[in-house]
A and B are shown apart, each in its own frame.
Chain A
Amino acid sequence: MEDLQARNQQEQDEFEQNQVIMTPGQLVMKRFFRNKLACVGIGIIVFMVLFCAIGPFFSPYGEYEIFYINNETKEEVRMQQADVGASYMGVNVKAPISSKHWLGTDADGRDVFTRLMYGGRISLTVGFVVVIIELLVGITLGGIAGYYGGIVDMIIMRLVEIFYCIPFIPLMLITSAIMFGYGISPKYKIYFIMVVMGVLYWAGVARIVRGQILSLREMEYMQAAEATGIRTSRKIFKHLVPNVMPMIILIATMDIGSVILTESVLSFLGVGIAWPYASWGNMVDAVNKSVIMKNYLNIWMPPGICILLTVLAFNFIGDGLRDAFDPRMKR
């Protein structure tokens, strides 16, 4: 009898020791990495970030370096050494793919592959910065609206509706016209564009955060928090915000993708990042010349594919996160 009890006890102990205890975060991670598309997405993003952040250090050429060609000897000359004035010198435009220029040169004689890296830097930076701005504004205002309710909520939500009604692309077009009017140099234009986009994008975040906080506020644990008499700021940041976090991470991931897409559209239309700086959007712009569209796929295809892959990756990750965060999606 005692023997049996001891055995039972031992079995119980072993069972408890072998039990793997996972935190909710670990469970989410596990569910996330089971999603193959999401893993592919992570892979693409890591590759793109490395390619754009570190790549330029390994490239022998500069972002707006122009290559010349000696028309007599057919020898390529770099911008610094070129005897530009000489009659036998020409710009090495639309060079084919070669070991020197992996993707050839564009219509101005610049290395496409190198510009792809610099362009990616801009596109990714814009994506991250705009999302950070929209999250800061959106979470603060959405949180305030959801927590306090009443007249504050009313005012903030009307503001959200106003921003919702403004058509984004046409407004960016006007903004660009204004920036042109002020004569802002291309170098600083990018910062203005990031701020304007962030300010225009916050409404969606605010709406979602408010909705979440509104329902979380009625939860029993919030009553308990209320009963302990802690400060309001602590209630918000310790008890409410962490519970909205999954939603925020999700919005952030999806929005980085859509911001990159929007920025590329603006650059393509010629109202975003301007010459001589590269961005994936304004590199595809070369396609407007029908000769390039027809014969020089190496100039406009790679940047377009880069945009597609990056946005696709963020969307895959977002989709995977959505499934991973949602406990109902268990298989």
Chain B
Amino acid sequence: MKQYILKRIGISVLVLLGVSMLLYGICRMVPGDYVANMTAGNQNITPEMEQRMREVYGLDKGVVEGYVSWLKDALRGDFGTSFIYQESVVSVIAKYIGPTVSLAGISMLLEILLAIPLGIIAARKQYSRTDYTIVAIAIIGISLPSFFFAAVLKRVFAIGLGVLPVSGMVTARADYVGFAHFLDLGKHFVLPIIVFVVTGVGGLLRYVRTNMLEVLSADYVRTARAKGLPERKVIGKHAFRNTLIPVVTMVGGMIPNLFSGAVITEGLFGLEGLGNVALQAVYQGDIPYLMGFNMFIALMTLVGTLVSDILYAVVDPRVRYN
């Protein structure tokens, strides 16, 4: 087990190296000297900063040497300075991670709480009207373009009924403090969370349903029924626990998706999180931040897969790694 974990971590480091090479290569594809390109018209940039950026990105050297020097800086935690914020990329990420984590965290919790019970109900009543309704709603959720859904929600709840704010994090010109501030913040998060949950819950739900169907046709479930256990116990104790194993893996893989999904949702609702900053970074050519943000998500993806694989081994004693 220990050996397996070590091997997996080794591979992950290798993969991360590959990702960084690819990203660096793409960023070097920008025509000409991109520091000059990107800084043109930005008064905040001083010549010293420009020089510093060239050094950080190794633009004074060839692609390979440049990559090595970038890597050295990155290993020391120096991902360069964001053009927009005039701060190191790491501190920008640390500053704006709060709203993203709360948005993604709450949404994921709701998704799990919705998907598991609904998936189990659908599987238990396969081919019934309930099953069809649940699956159809799940597929509609997957197929909804998030930006369109967000626009419809805004039109109905913010403009039409006027009960929820259109965008932003806090009501402008209303200096709430304490609980009122928290409530105001919560109000601004309602629509983004709905968009997140509705467009994201379908995948997990269908996954739970498929796995539950498989488990329900297993021999040990038949045995449990044959020995006269109440249905509640058959589902709760014998079937559900075995469905949980693949679901845990799936949830681990969902975390990074939440972060890259945040780019769109935060942009749509004007929440000041990592995703929205990334979107601004694109429009303003803030390549250092984009590199840092992408590496951050790549790291999350690797950690997510690693943790879920290890959890898999912990939860399921049948899994043996050699």
Q: Which residues of A contact B (CB under 8 A)?
A: 37, 158-159, 161-162, 164-171, 173-178, 181-182, 257, 261, 264-265, 268-269, 271, 281, 284, 287, 290, 293-294, 297, 300, 304, 307-308, 311-312, 315-316, 319, 328, 331
Check if B39 is an interface residue, CB within 8 A of chain A. Answer: no
Shortest B59–chain A CB gap in Å is 14
List chain A residues, Cβ under 8 A from B139. 312, 315-316, 319
- 9 more contacts with CB within 8 A, not counting A158-B14, A165-B15, A261-B145, are A165-B301, A170-B278, A181-B37, A281-B147, A284-B145, A294-B159, A304-B145, A304-B152, A311-B145
Instruction: Report the interface size for chain B: residues with CB under 8 A from the other chain.
Output: 55
List chain B residues, Cβ under 8 A from A311. 142-143, 145
Q: How many angstroms between the C-alpha atoms of A287 and B136 in the bound complex?
A: 27
List chain B residues, Cβ under 8 A from A169. 260-261, 263-264
Q: How many angstroms between the C-alpha atoms of A131 and B263 in the bound complex?
A: 24
Shortest A237–chain B CB gap in Å is 30
**With contact pairs A176-B282, A271-B282 given, residues A167 and B18 touching in the complex (Cβ less than 8 Å):** no
Check if B146 is an interface residue, CB within 8 A of chain A. Answer: yes
Evaluate contact between A308 and B148: CB separation under 8 angstroms: yes
Evaluate contact between A159 and B282: CB separation under 8 angstroms: no
Q: How many angstroms between the C-alpha atoms of A271 and B147 in the bound complex?
A: 14
Q: How many angstroms between the C-alpha atoms of A294 and B166 in the bound complex?
A: 12
Shortest A92–chain B CB gap in Å is 24
List the B residue with the shortest CB-CB distance to A264.
B145
List chain A residues, Cβ under 8 A from B195. none
Shortest B7–chain A CB gap in Å is 12
Check if B144 is an interface residue, CB within 8 A of chain A. Answer: yes
Check if B66 is an interface residue, CB within 8 A of chain A. Answer: no
List the A residue with the shortest CB-CB distance to B202.
A315
List the A residue with the shortest CB-CB distance to B302.
A165
Interface SS of A by simple majority = helix
Evaluate contact between A161 and B22: CB separation under 8 angstroms: no
> Which B1-33 residues sit within 8 Å CB-CB of chain A?
11, 14-16, 18-19, 22-23, 26-27, 29-32
Shortest 7 CB-CB distances between A and B: which pairs? Answer: A304-B148, A311-B143, A167-B260, A162-B18, A173-B282, A312-B143, A167-B297
**With contact pairs A162-B19, A293-B155, A316-B139 given, residues A170 and B263 touching in the complex (Cβ less than 8 Å):** yes
Q: How many angstroms between the C-alpha atoms of A297 and B293 in the bound complex?
A: 36
> Which B122-144 residues sit within 8 Å CB-CB of chain A?
127, 132, 135-136, 139-140, 142-144
List chain A residues, Cβ under 8 A from B298. 165-167
**With contact pairs A158-B18, A178-B26, A178-B30 given, residues A167 and B259 touching in the complex (Cβ less than 8 Å):** yes
Check if B204 is an interface residue, CB within 8 A of chain A. Answer: no
Evaluate contact between B282 and A265: CB separation under 8 angstroms: no
Evaluate contact between B27 and A37: CB separation under 8 angstroms: no
**With contact pairs A169-B264, A308-B145 given, residues A287 and B278 touching in the complex (Cβ less than 8 Å):** no
Q: How many angstroms between the C-alpha atoms of A268 and B11 in the bound complex?
A: 37
Q: How many angstroms between the C-alpha atoms of A170 and B19 in the bound complex?
A: 14
Partner of B279, one of A165, A173, A181: A173
Evaluate contact between B279 and A269: CB separation under 8 angstroms: yes
List the B residue with the shortest CB-CB distance to A160.
B15
List chain A residues, Cβ under 8 A from B58. none
List chain B residues, Cβ under 8 A from A297. 155
Partner of B143, one of A165, A281, A308: A308
